[in-house]
Amino acid sequence: MPSSWTHERAKLANLIRHRPDDAEAIATARRDLRAARLEDHVTKVLADAPPLTDEQRSRLSAILRGNGAGDA
């Protein structure tokens, strides 16, 4: 089954081809593609890693929320 990011990539390509003047939609599609690729990568890394501690989860959560590298 294709990754979700490949679906997002197709949506972006379709927008660029058929609605090249819709800058807001294209920017949103680019953001969604990057988020989907990040999610796919994190899922793969976590599948191969030992379980995270509560502190590690908190630090990673803070990074994703934009609160810095360890301010949680």
- pLDDT at residue 38 in the model: 92
What integer pLDDT is reported at residue 72 of this predicted model?
A: 43
CA terminus-to-terminus distance, the chain: 36
The two three-digit tokens of residue 29, written as one number: 């599609």
pLDDT of residue 67: 79
Domain ranges of the chain: 4-65
Sign of CA dihedral 13, 17, 20, 24: negative
8-62 confidence digits (pLDDT tens): 999 999 999 999 999 999 999 999 999 999 999 999 999 999 999 999 999 999 9
Identify the pLDDT of residue 27.
98
- What does DSSP assign to residue 66? T
